[in-house]
């Protein structure tokens, strides 16, 4: 029995245990994957105790991805760029941190949705850990530009400065229409109440919400005539698949898992 978990606060809503059990079933693996509520300031203590019990690793969701980054003894390039870790594994006694969010997003966009960001103008809403974890992967998809719009400009600027890439920039006021709009904010978008100008969107835009519980952003997009819409459920499954591969070195099928969660 392999012991795994997801750490977060809140955590009761997490679908990660269900997802990983479906992955384990594909390969005949027995896992005990539990959601663990971590009180503020207690991440390190909880993480140490969990690993000392012989756990194979664990996932991390909000608000502890930066805590996990500092907890890990070694980190992947993706985690370093994001300064955020969503997957902890133990390799030859070393606590290793990775971030599979960006790769999971791109897998969902390209393989599941059939969208492309190559030569496209991309707008990302937000500048928190969710956005920080995906910008490098977006840039790897060869867009013409990636513009980051956030209420606090300095946070967007900090992400831009990490990448030193002329295609990515922080903006205060969007002036153009975008081919792809990705919502990475931590709070629900309430349509026009966020003062998003309708000029940023056209019926041909592709709109993606990295969350999967709130429909306000996608409803706003639909009201603007957009037909290519997607929430983050596919991203959730794809990033989990990459984490599962880190732990067990096996490939999993994601399409049936996404379909099962939709139902």
Question: Which tokens hold the place of 2?
Answer: 């392999």
Q: Which residues contact 10 (CB under 8 A, 6 or more apart)?
A: 37
Q: pLDDT by residue (tens digit) across 37-95? A: 999 999 999 999 999 999 999 999 989 999 999 999 999 999 999 999 999 999 999 99
65 among known catalytic residues:
yes
What local confidence, expressed as pLDDT, does residue 142 receive? 98
Cβ density class 222-235: b for 16+ within 10 Å, e for less: eebebeebbbbbbb
Q: Which CATH class is domain 2-99+234-262?
A: alpha beta
- Of the candidates 65, 107, 120, 121, the residue annotated as catalytic is 65
The tokens 């490098």 sit on which residue?
A: 136
Using omega within 30 degrees of 0 as the cis cutoff, is the peptide bond preceding 10 cis?
yes
pLDDT at 186: 64
The CATH homologous superfamily to which domain 102-231 belongs is NAD(P)-binding Rossmann-like Domain (3.40.50.720)
Within the chain, all domains assigned CATH 3.40.50.720 are found at 102-231
């Amino acid at each position: 029995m392999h012991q795994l978990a997801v750490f977060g606060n809140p955590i009761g809503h997490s679908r990660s245990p269900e997802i990983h059990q479906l992955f384990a079933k594909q390969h005949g693996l027995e896992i005990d994957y539990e959601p663990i509520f971590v009180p503020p300031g207690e991440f390190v203590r909880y993480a140490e105790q969990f690993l000392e019990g012989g756990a194979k690793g664990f996932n991390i969701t909000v608000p502890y991805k930066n805590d996990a980054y500092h907890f890990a003894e070694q980190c992947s390039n993706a985690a370093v760029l994001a300064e955020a870790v969503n997957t902890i594994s133990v390799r030859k006694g070393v606590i290793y941190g990775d971030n599979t969010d960006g790769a999971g997003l791109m897998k969902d966009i390209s393989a599941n949705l059939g969208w492309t960001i190559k030569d496209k103008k991309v707008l990302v809403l937000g500048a928190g850990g969710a956005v920080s974890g995906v910008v490098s992967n977006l840039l790897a998809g060869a867009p013409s530009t990636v513009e980051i719009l956030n209420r606090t400009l300095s946070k967007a600027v900090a992400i831009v400065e990490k990448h030193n890439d002329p295609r990515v920039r922080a903006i205060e006021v969007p002036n153009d229409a975008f081919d792809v709009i990705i919502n990475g904010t931590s709070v629900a978008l309430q349509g026009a109440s966020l003062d998003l100008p309708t000029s940023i969107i056209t019926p041909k835009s592709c709109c993606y919400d990295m969350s999967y519980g709130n429909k306000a952003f996608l409803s706003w997009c639909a009201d603007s005539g957009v037909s290519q819409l997607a929430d983050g459920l596919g991203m959730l499954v794809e990033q989990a698949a990459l984490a599962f591969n880190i732990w067990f070195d096996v490939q999993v099928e994601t399409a049936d898992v996404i379909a099962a969660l939709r139902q």
